[in-house]
């Protein structure tokens, strides 16, 4: 009975999207910062309340088209930051098998197998050649 009610209630609602997840994490950060005594703690308490209400508004909103447009703009603006962390995670997971170099000209990352000694490395993107020790 309750399961059916919840299913019907959430039918046609936006649900958790990237902005809701971001504001949810922000809410928890504000909760931790609200323990600071004094006026600063009170300001973070208010920010906690505002971000929590905004997150619930996004999740329960029935205007799915408008929320998806907002999410698209958010993802476009945060694409560089998200790409940086995704690439860092890949480099970190491959750190034992490969050594990563940055091209001095175009600043792209180059992956070279470890244990090959001193190599002449050629950038695939710009063709610049430089040496590096693996």
> What pTM did the predictor assign?
0.70
Same domain, 55 and 112: no
- On whether the CB atoms of residues 75 and 22 are closer than 8 A, the answer is no
- Examine residue 85 and state whether it is found in any structural domain, yes or no: no
A 10 A CB-CB count for 29 gives 14
pLDDT at 28: 95
In the predicted model, what is the mean pLDDT of residues 38-59?
A: 93
- If one counts the domains in the chain, the total is 2
| Mean of all residue pLDDT scores within the chain | 91
Q: How many CB atoms lie within 10 A of CB 20?
A: 20
- The arithmetic mean of pLDDT across residues 116-126, rounded, is 89
pLDDT the model gives residue 6: 84
The residue segments making up the domain with residue 108 are: 97-133
């Amino acid at each position: 009975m309750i399961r059916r009610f919840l299913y019907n209630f959430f039918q046609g609602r936006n649900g958790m999207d990237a902005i809701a997840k971001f504001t949810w994490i922000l809410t928890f950060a504000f909760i931790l910062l609200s323990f600071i005594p004094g006026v600063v703690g009170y300001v973070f308490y208010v920010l906690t309340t505002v971000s929590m209400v905004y997150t619930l508004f996004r999740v329960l909103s029935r205007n799915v088209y408008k929320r998806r447009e907002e999410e698209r703009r958010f993802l476009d603006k945060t694409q560089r930051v998200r790409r940086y962390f995704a690439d860092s995670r890949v480099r970190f997971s491959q750190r034992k098998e490969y050594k990563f170099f940055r091209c001095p000209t175009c600043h792209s990352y180059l992956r070279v197998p470890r244990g090959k000694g001193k190599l002449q490395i050629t950038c695939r993107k710009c063709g610049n050649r430089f040496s590096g020790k693996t």
